[in-house]
A and B are shown apart, each in its own frame.
Chain A
Amino acid sequence: MRIKTKALRFTAVLALALVSAVPMWAARGKADFTRYVALGDSYGAGVSSNAMVDAHQRNGYVATIARQAGAKDFQQPTVSQPGIGPELQLLSIRPLQIAPKAATNGVPTNLSLPRPYNNLSIPGARVGDLLTLTGAQPPTNTQTSFAQFILRGLGTSADQALAQQPTFISVWIGGNDLLGAVLAGTPAALTPLEQFDASYNALLDRLVAGAPNAGIVLGSLADAKSVPFATTIPPVIVNPATSQPVLGPDGKPIFMIADLGGGTIGQLPPGSLVTLGASSFLATGFGIPPALAPAFPTLPNAGKPLPDGVVLTPAELVIIDKAKVDMNAVIIATGARLNIPVVDINTFFEHAKAGLDFGGITINAAFLTGGMFSYDGFHPSDIGYTILANEFIRTINAHYNTRIPFASITRYFQNNGKRTAKVTAQEDVGADTPFDYTRDALDGLLQVTGTQNNLPVTNRVRD
């Protein structure tokens, strides 16, 4: 088609410019990482394997974005080994043993920084905490404890972010408001939607008003079923000798018994999730129906139900799913209202669950073998954080017309280089033993995520 008049041609050029410029105009501010500030929760803090520890903080998604974008003098509230958690390690696969690296925590190592940290993410924080916690409150729970050395009494997260005159802000918050329900095993732990909506909008309004020219990026929230903490243990009785489900007289697997909520004891309906938190209970026989208990004479608690806090019934999952949809709608609406791009974390985790391909390597959400998650089954590994950072970078580049380079997971190739002689000796690895994600591991995770979960003290080793 030929364009005849000059005016028409000008209009066409203008229209084309508008269309091609949409990504630049859609996002507020610009992506200048001179002073990059991050607000978030334990994911933002770089928690991995239950611990906030420098070795993983430096590889968290926030630190990775900062590194890739060339952020200047990017400071984090670092913690020495073995981290505040402390960090879990894998001791043995068969039997599976995951335990803290040490009995005592590491200590903060960047307390003397004479200005707020660039990374102000607080493990355990919910949206509302970013407008109220200052680090001056007494350490009565996870958020307030971590805030003591992250916020140091210098003001709220939002205050300290704005005090730095940020040129770019990432805000990925809400994970505890939503997935706290998975860790607690009950939708009662969800932040009420009205409260989430009000806090989220108030937080973003505050940031936009205080840093009107800063570029901002938000993150949405992932599904309950995207973390191995919720998906690893099947809700049916498994024969420890064969790793196969025990079949009932009808030839079908037998579902575990649990407190289904409000003290109602019964078999878990199909579609229920049994969290990693159940592991130490299962190891002593909890969840085995009374009729089957005689078959497990060595398990002292066979015939007793799993506590409510380690299972999610389909009815509970419906409520949590609805909360996810509603909270993500709030995040997306807030982003749209303020012209802030939103990283589609929900879709990303769906893809990660299905498996992401990297040059012949598949990274997925399987516990221990998938590569995406750390030993707590809830927080990402270094590889997982790298891929997450790339999702943020992808969104920033698309909306701010930048070319921030992606981070490469080749950093986490163990790369033992040269071929060795063929391994011929095969160890006797034995049959699968019952899955044991220790009670210590669970307590650590609940601690680091600030989850209230009134589980019975049975199996507890540490206290």
Chain B
Amino acid sequence: MRSSRFRILTIALVTLAIAPVGFAAGFSIFEQGAKATGMGGAFAATANDPSAMFYNVAGIAYQRETTAMLGGTLISFRNEFTGGDYEFPGPGTTEGFEDHLFTPPNAYMVIPVGENATFGIGQFTPFGLRTHWEDQDDFTGRFVAQDTNLKVFSLQPSFAWKTSDDRFAVGVGVEYRVSKVALERNIPAINPFTLQVADIGHVALTSDEINDDFGWNVGLMFRPSETWSVGVTYRAPITIDYEGEADFQQISTGNPQFDGLVAAGFPPDQKIKTSVDFPAIASFGIATTAIPTWTFEFDAVLMTWSEFETLVVDFENAATPDLVNEENWDDSWSYRFGANKQVNDMWQVRLGVVWDETPQPVENVGPLLPDSNRLGLSFGVGLKHGNWRIDLSELYLPFVDRDTLGQNQDNYNGVYETTANLLSMNIGYTF
């Protein structure tokens, strides 16, 4: 049971969390801490700062000092769509995203209890999506999607326990996930007076601020020797049901007769329902400190995106046809390699490489979400001074050009080129 005070707090926090574009395959986001991001997200077997609550909750068992960490990521990106050799929207078409700067925040606190246990509370943004097309009223894909916005915000109380010899740790988290979703597009019709395609309406589908559900996650860490560590985690899938409003706005075509006909059959504003199936995330990591002052880690991360089969928007009014988007995604793997060098007592430097497979089948690649495989290169530094710690990282994430090969389900075909830059910073304080 949630108290009303808890609810108000949640609303305040959600409002603070700004929706990012998906920056790992699909619409997941693995950039939830500057140290881990500097290591290319390969952190499940290292997990030695409070962001472990996202990467492997067992890791907080080894953190024996009360520590708070706050941070965020500054995401900027470039995107270009070109029409390619296809019939629609046609060769020569170029489109792009609206400029947005995204700053998904994160915050963590770990509190050790006794010798071997640690409590934690973490806030992060494991999923999110924004696909907002520039000049959305002239965008050639405006009858498919103009602006798609999925906001996610998670709050996770966590607990972990380790054996006294540090060889083994286990952690659990209960994730309270809150989400909001919005979708905008225009409605077309043939204007019989011009025999051309006219925009006759605009529909904005917006969910309530708070749509939520709970999920669980579990992490294990095993240190078979002084210098080797293995991490395994599982974050369960969560399905969030959304309720909201559809706002239909008629657009004048310039012909009063036709506008009158359109008005007579125009759908009324009404309640809507939808749901999104978020995948499970399973990570398998191995790390070594066999070379003094160095940490190397390799992770393989599986996301069960095959959960994401359809996106259905159910309109309350029976006369308004439901919106059914076939998704039929595939499970996807991400492979991450990271290195951390302890330069001296104060400084650490980091490097990472990540290969993220897209779960999105080519038919589904479209204006709502054009995903692609991506290769990320990261660089990071960490500075420790007294009780303070600052981590900075930069992740350069070019997407592999994605050609819809003439197979898009809405016959909106072309090539998407996207490049992202993610600048992350975290500040930690040990009490």
Q: Binary interface profile of B, 376-395, with partner A (CB < 8 Å = 1, else 0)?
A: 00000000000000000000
Decide: B86 and A406 in contact? CB cutoff 8 A: yes
Decide: B89 and A359 in contact? CB cutoff 8 A: yes
Q: Does any Cβ of B come within 8 Å of A360's Cβ?
A: yes
- Which residues of B have CB within 8 Å of A358? 87-89, 411-412
Centre residue among A90, A358, A368, A409 by max chain B CB count within 10 A: A358
- Which residues of B have CB within 8 Å of A2? none
Number of contact residues on A: which range applies? Answer: 35 or more
Q: Does any Cβ of A come within 8 Å of B48's Cβ?
A: no
Report the Cα distance A46→B409, complex, angstroms. Answer: 31
- From known contacts A359-B89, A408-B91, infer whether A381 and B195 are also in contact, taking CB-CB under 8 Å: yes
Number of contact residues on B: which range applies? Answer: 35 or more
Q: Does any Cβ of B come within 8 Å of A241's Cβ?
A: no
Report the Cα distance A370→B189, complex, angstroms. Answer: 9
Centre residue among B89, B144, B185 by max chain A CB count within 10 A: B89
Q: Does any Cβ of B come within 8 Å of A429's Cβ?
A: yes
Residue of A nearest to B266 (CB): A423
Decide: A371 and B197 in contact? CB cutoff 8 A: yes
Shortest distance between the CB of B250 and any CB in chain A (Å): 4
Decide: B188 and A361 in contact? CB cutoff 8 A: yes
- Which residues of A have CB within 8 Å of B264? 426, 429
Interface residue stretch chosen among B67-75, B134-142, B171-179:
B134-142
Q: Does any Cβ of B come within 8 Å of A463's Cβ?
A: no
- Which residues of A have CB within 8 Å of B91? 405-406, 408
- From known contacts A390-B87, A405-B91, A409-B197, infer whether A93 and B257 are also in contact, taking CB-CB under 8 Å: yes
Decide: A412 and B252 in contact? CB cutoff 8 A: no
Shortest distance between the CB of A293 and any CB in chain B (Å): 32
- Which residues of A have CB within 8 Å of B77? none
- Which residues of A have CB within 8 Å of B412? 358-360
| Residue in A361, A368, A375 whose beta carbon sits within 8 Å of that of B197 in the complex | A361
Q: Does any Cβ of A come within 8 Å of B321's Cβ?
A: no
| Residue in B140, B196, B250 whose beta carbon sits within 8 Å of that of A414 in the complex | B196
Report the Cα distance A440→B367, complex, angstroms. Answer: 45
Shortest distance between the CB of B368 and any CB in chain A (Å): 11
Decide: A419 and B410 in contact? CB cutoff 8 A: no
Report the Cα distance A383→B190, complex, angstroms. Answer: 10
Decide: B196 and A419 in contact? CB cutoff 8 A: no
Q: Does any Cβ of A come within 8 Å of B49's Cβ?
A: no
Report the Cα distance A360→B188, complex, angstroms. Answer: 8
Decide: B197 and A414 in contact? CB cutoff 8 A: yes
Residue of A nearest to B411 (CB): A357
Q: Binary interface profile of B, 177-195, with partner A (CB < 8 Å = 1, else 0)?
A: 0000000010011111111
Judged by DSSP, the binding face of B is loop
- Which residues of A have CB within 8 Å of B89? 358-359, 408, 410
Decide: B260 and A429 in contact? CB cutoff 8 A: yes
- Which residues of B have CB within 8 Å of A308? none
- From known contacts A93-B261, A423-B250, A427-B257, infer whether A415 and B138 are also in contact, taking CB-CB under 8 Å: yes
- From known contacts A369-B190, A370-B190, A419-B202, infer whether A408 and B263 are also in contact, taking CB-CB under 8 Å: no
Residue of B nearest to A358 (CB): B88
Report the Cα distance A92→B193, complex, angstroms. Answer: 8
Query: Using a CB-CB cutoff of 8 Å, which residues 355-394 of chain A contact chain B?
Result: 356-361, 363, 368-371, 374-375, 381-383, 387, 390
- Which residues of A have CB within 8 Å of B185? 360
Shortest distance between the CB of A162 and any CB in chain B (Å): 32
Shortest distance between the CB of B262 and any CB in chain A (Å): 8
Report the Cα distance A410→B411, complex, angstroms. Answer: 13
- Which residues of B have CB within 8 Å of A423? 250-252, 259, 262-263
Shortest distance between the CB of B24 and any CB in chain A (Å): 28
Q: Does any Cβ of A come within 8 Å of B198's Cβ?
A: yes
Decide: A418 and B85 in contact? CB cutoff 8 A: no
Shortest distance between the CB of B326 and any CB in chain A (Å): 13
- Which residues of A have CB within 8 Å of B86? 406
- Which residues of B have CB within 8 Å of A416? 198-199, 251-254
Q: Does any Cβ of A come within 8 Å of B256's Cβ?
A: yes
Query: Using a CB-CB cutoff of 8 Å, which residues 71-107 of chain A contact chain B?
Result: 90, 92-94
Residue of A nearest to B138 (CB): A417
Q: Binary interface profile of B, 257-289, with partner A (CB < 8 Å = 1, else 0)?
A: 111111110000000000000000000000000
- Which residues of A have CB within 8 Å of B263? 423, 425-427
Q: Does any Cβ of B come within 8 Å of A330's Cβ?
A: no
Report the Cα distance A357→B250, complex, angstroms. Answer: 22
Residue of A nearest to B191 (CB): A414
| Residue in B90, B191, B262, B410 whose beta carbon sits within 8 Å of that of A357 in the complex | B410
Report the Cα distance A452→B85, complex, angstroms. Answer: 44
Q: Binary interface profile of B, 201-224, with partner A (CB < 8 Å = 1, else 0)?
A: 010000000000000000000000
Shortest distance between the CB of A16 and any CB in chain B (Å): 22
- Which residues of A have CB within 8 Å of B83? 408
Report the Cα distance A145→B309, complex, angstroms. Answer: 61
Decide: A368 and B192 in contact? CB cutoff 8 A: yes
- Which residues of B have CB within 8 Å of A428? 260
Q: Does any Cβ of A come within 8 Å of B93's Cβ?
A: yes
Residue of B nearest to A423 (CB): B250
Q: Does any Cβ of A come within 8 Å of B429's Cβ?
A: no
Report the Cα distance A228→B257, complex, angstroms. Answer: 22
Decide: B199 and A414 in contact? CB cutoff 8 A: yes
Q: Does any Cβ of B come within 8 Å of A420's Cβ?
A: yes
Decide: A359 and B93 in contact? CB cutoff 8 A: no
Residue of B nearest to A366 (CB): B190
Residue of B nearest to A360 (CB): B143
Report the Cα distance A415→B263, complex, angstroms. Answer: 19
Q: Does any Cβ of A come within 8 Å of B66's Cβ?
A: no
Report the Cα distance A407→B90, complex, angstroms. Answer: 6
| Residue in B87, B90, B410 whose beta carbon sits within 8 Å of that of A360 in the complex | B410
Decide: A406 and B195 in contact? CB cutoff 8 A: no
- From known contacts A359-B412, A370-B190, A371-B190, infer whether A408 and B92 are also in contact, taking CB-CB under 8 Å: yes
Report the Cα distance A419→B256, complex, angstroms. Answer: 16
Q: Does any Cβ of A come within 8 Å of B249's Cβ?
A: yes
- Which residues of B have CB within 8 Å of A387? 87
Decide: A408 and B251 in contact? CB cutoff 8 A: no
Query: Using a CB-CB cutoff of 8 Å, which residues 128-173 of chain B contact chain A?
Result: 137-138, 140-144
Shortest distance between the CB of A367 and any CB in chain B (Å): 9
Decide: B257 and A361 in contact? CB cutoff 8 A: no
CB-CB nearest 4 A-B residue pairs: A408-B90, A360-B143, A427-B260, A405-B91
Would you mind naming 13 contact pairs between A and B with Cβ atoms under 8 Å apart? A93-B192, A359-B411, A360-B188, A368-B192, A375-B195, A409-B88, A409-B197, A410-B140, A419-B249, A423-B252, A425-B263, A427-B259, A429-B260
Question: Given A408-B91, A419-B137, list of 10 further CB < 8 A pairs?
Answer: A92-B257, A359-B141, A360-B144, A368-B192, A369-B192, A375-B195, A390-B87, A410-B88, A414-B194, A426-B260
A residues with CB within 8 A of B: 90, 92-94, 356-361, 363, 368-371, 374-375, 381-383, 387, 390, 403, 405-410, 412-420, 422-423, 425-429
